[in-house]
Chain A
Amino acid sequence: MTKEVQDAFKSGIPIFIGYVPAAIAFGILSKGCEITLLESFLFSAVVFAGASQFIALNLLMTGMGPGGIILTTLLVNFRHFLMSAYLATRIGRIAKRYKFMMAFGVTDEVFSVLSFQKGRLSKPFIFILEISAYTGWVTGTLAGYILGGFLPEILTISMGVALYALLLAMLLPEIKKSVKALILTISSGLLNTFLIKLDFLPNGWTIIVCILVIALAGSFFIVDEVQEEIYE
């Protein structure tokens, strides 16, 4: 196994561990909404977007029609447009068919891991990561639907912490190198907290506003240090 493949698994495992309990919860909830096993599976296998799937279940229960649910999903998931825009600048020239495949797997966590890799992103790294995430999400959904809450609740809750720990673990080396990266991160978190408290943006858009505002501010003031080394 090359170092690159090892690294991909090292980051893929935490994503898998984090996705499984969330997906189990989705499986359980979807069963409670009188959705069939096949439909629940299709949600996770075809849409593959955590938060928006939970929101869709809620909206279904309130009796909202397809148009409203699909529009809400578009809004909730639109942040991935910005994440893909960043990733597109990091993959170099690759065949179109790979772009179609890798775009499907751009989730918050996959994006975060990829963005902290040094140098050009390689296909094996991207696909190992995306497949780990996808496997965790789909198997978790099936397990939740079929087996219900088979894991002790405190274990599931603890496993959910893995996703935050993963983001934090990747961020730490950056923060250690650059105070400005720390300032950007914290400002973005504070802005997000503030926007959520104000409660006027639809779900998912607080993150979009944070990315736009903070990255714009960052691009004016501190472009030289943040991510420079990673990028090249």
Chain B
Amino acid sequence: MKLDLDPEYEAFRADVSETLTKNRHLAPTSEDKGYKNARRIAWQKLLIEHGLAARTIPKAYGGYGGEADILKARIIAEEFARSRVPGPMAGQGISMLVPTLLELGTEAQKQAYIRPTIEGEMIWCQGYSEPGAGSDLAALRTSAVEDGDHYVINGSKIWTSTAKQADMIFCLVRTDPAAKKHEGITYITFPMSMPGIEVRPLVDMTGSANFNEVFFTNVRVPKSGVIYQPNKGWQVANATLTHERGMLGDPNATKARFLELVTLMKGESVNGQPLIANPLLCDRLMQLQAEVYAMQANGLRITTSRLKGEQAGIAGLIVKLNGCDLNHEIARLAIDALGELGILYEDGEHLRSDGSWQWRYMYDLGLIIGGGTAQIQKNIIAERGLNMPREPKLAKA
């Protein structure tokens, strides 16, 4: 057990901290809205140049070209959080498509897509879920029928975030309806500007449209958009799903929210008494703190496993389930602590924290469901972590 870092890493931390301090005046502010804001793109390029974004992506594709180093990645994330300097761009193109291309894309695909994607000039959306294929993703039915050098795509996708803004989509389509359900799927990319694509915003319980529905009617897509091979899309998608699950439930983000809750409970008063002085609220706060500490320690354990090239086992499988639940519970306590004022939303006098606690309480419920529902996570923990038997397949009716 050794929790301090070697001098090499402490020096690296100091470098990162200095870079952020020196350049923070160039960072985008709340004024810089929108996906292709010039200041945001310039900031992203600066971060890449200093190895604080796209760190392990080869120089040839526009990245920094650094070696994979879990501790350095961790230090960078911690320094962004600590300094409160805006971090690198995120999004499904950067976090899911780029790693997939690096692993399975052709040279031409890597050359065409990686640089603009990581620099924020090319926005992507993900076409996976369908109205009839949620937890059972492999049941997807959007069809792609060969026609010379093209596929003709018909069907629809749902839960597509950033579909309105996206230049491109990476999409799972059924290319062989006769094959077993996992074996007839192809992973394909194409521009969202193609004729026959319609995007409809999907308003959710938060009141905003964080997601969309996307409809395809005879969309003609060149075969060159296929990633890896036709009918191998399930394997390709699994490579990216691993990346998505890694993003949900980050314990450092949870800790930051917990600290906001502590600040709220120390600063707010009811009947002339600080909220923190209410023993029942304080007890709930401590219950959550125990879980925050536990998930942070669990995260350290996972990092160590990765450093050693070992599987993290159950410690790794529970992160999405526990982390998303904990975020939701933190928001719930904040709302309860605010009491009657906790129900205020969107705008107006007396509103606290811009209404973000209610927004998070709702949005976090979406994350408990999205990215593999809590129930699917429990199946995974039981089957992969505890080696419990799979559900027997139903005989076809």
Q: Do A and B come from one complex?
A: no
Q: Which B residues have a C-beta under 8 Å from some C-beta of A?
A: none
